[in-house]
Amino acid sequence: MSARCPHCGGNIAEGAPVTRGKWWVAPIATFYDGDQVAMPRYLSRTLYTIALANGRPVTHRDFPNITPQTLAGHISQLRRLFGEKLPIRGVTNKGYAWEARA
C-alpha cells in the first residue's frame, strides 16, 4: 500500500517517483519527455531529492555523507548533462531548488 498526500492524493511513499512537468524522477531512474536519461545513480538521487522537495531549497544536509562541495559538483554535472533543460536553480545561502516553471 502506498502513502497518499492528504492534499493532492499523490504517492508520498519513500522512493516513490516524482513527476514535475516533462520530468519523471525516481531514485534510480530519470526520464525527460518520455525518454530515459542514462546517468550515474548518485546524480539520479541528487535530482530526485531536489524534485521531491517541491521548490524548497535543498542543501548537503539533506543527503547522507555529502559535503557542500560534493553537492555543487553533482549540480555542475547535471547542468552539463541537461543544459538549459535542467530546472534547478541556486538559492543564495540556502541551497538548490526545483524551478516552478519546469
Structural domains in the chain, CATH included, are 39-98 (1.10.10)
How far is Cα of residue 81 from the mean position of the Cα atoms in its chain? 14
pLDDT the model gives residue 7: 40
Q: Model confidence over 32-67: pLDDT tens digits?
A: 999 999 999 999 999 999 999 988 999 999 999 999
Residue 93 pLDDT greater than 80, yes or no = yes
Residue 30 pLDDT greater than 50, yes or no = yes
CA-based nearest residue to 44, from 91, 99, 4, 82: 82
Q: Quote the pTM value.
A: 0.82
Mean pLDDT of 8-21: 68
